[in-house]
Amino acid sequence: MVNTHVQIGELTLKNPVIAASGTFGFGREMQQWNNLSQIGGISSKGLTLNPRLGNDPTRVAETASGMLNSVGLQNPGLQAFIEHELPFMLGLGTTVIANIAGHSLEENVQMAMQLDQTAVHAIELNLSCPNVNKGCMAFGSSAHLIQEVVRAVRQSTTKPLWVKLTPNVTAISEMALAAESAGADAVCLINTLLGMAIDRRSRRPVLRNNTGGLSGPAVKPVALRMVWDVAKSVSIPVIGMGGIMTGEDALEFMIAGATAVQVGTANLVKPTACQDIINEMIMIATAEKITSFSQYTGTLKTW
């Protein structure tokens, strides 16, 4: 038998596969295809203090080996989440992570304080969404601002604090070190790469927001390199994501240094992706006579 449990700071996950924010909603639609108690965790749809309608359509476009999205953090707002969605999620039998994306330092602090009074298992501070004009990537592209907002949120909650980083920077390890120094319990990477699709006939961008976040298999090589860079630099756990479609992909991220992984775009292609990935990981580990998933983490042999 393979020990599938992994440790993220003080939080134990039953396995290392987490449904990434924005691709799983709050789990309601996905429960008809999955036994959600069998996945490692669910990161909620990105939450803001007040409800958001998101960006105007068109908001999603397929690309070669991936997709662009510019949803713009459509969500019901924090209070509606706490009252209506969180009780449902806590009943699923898996780890629940609240992804927050405040438009200012003060909003992030206020959201963390409110979530601290709930039974949510962890907070994922989103400093990386490229599809909104305030907050998120504005914080995430500056090590100084990352330190400032993470320190303020850290002082506002006793919950495990994960910080989701943008790849749209020159040195992501510098950003990860800033998050660690300010009190993050883990860093999550990568969020989407900023991209564009163009309709030749209309000579306009396909997305109404002009640009969007690129995800899917196309970003996996970039994500693997960044996870490897960051895992060498920080002492806190790294949660890797970016183009994971199979159990083999997930194990590659762990070999690069990730303690756990998040699965995003794959959920939109196949609703059972998280569960299938876990099963494939177990099959591979069993065949390789690995007794614990944690034995894969950080085992990359470079030339």
List residues bridging with 186 in a β-sheet. 162
Per-residue pLDDT tens for 147-193?
999 999 999 999 999 999 999 999 999 999 999 999 999 999 999 99
197 by DSSP, 3-state: which?
coil
Residue 193's beta-bridge partner residues?
214
Active site residue 129: yes
User: Of 277, 284, 294, 257, which Cα lies nearest the Cα of 19?
Assistant: 277
Contact call for residues 59 and 302 (beta carbons, < 8 A): no
> pLDDT (tens digit, 9 = 90+) per residue, 220-240?
999 999 999 999 999 999 999
Active-site option among 129, 136, 188, 274:
129
Q: Alpha carbon of 70 to those of 26, 104, 203, 255, 268: distances in Å? A: 19, 20, 19, 31, 15
| Average pLDDT across the chain, whole number | 95
Instruction: Answer whether 0.85 is exceeded by the pTM.
Output: yes
- For residue 145, what pLDDT is reported? 94
| Ramachandran assignment for 65, one of left (phi > 0), alpha (psi -120 to 50 degrees), beta (any other) | left
What is the architecture of the domain spanning 6-54+72-192+215-296? Alpha-Beta Barrel (3.20)
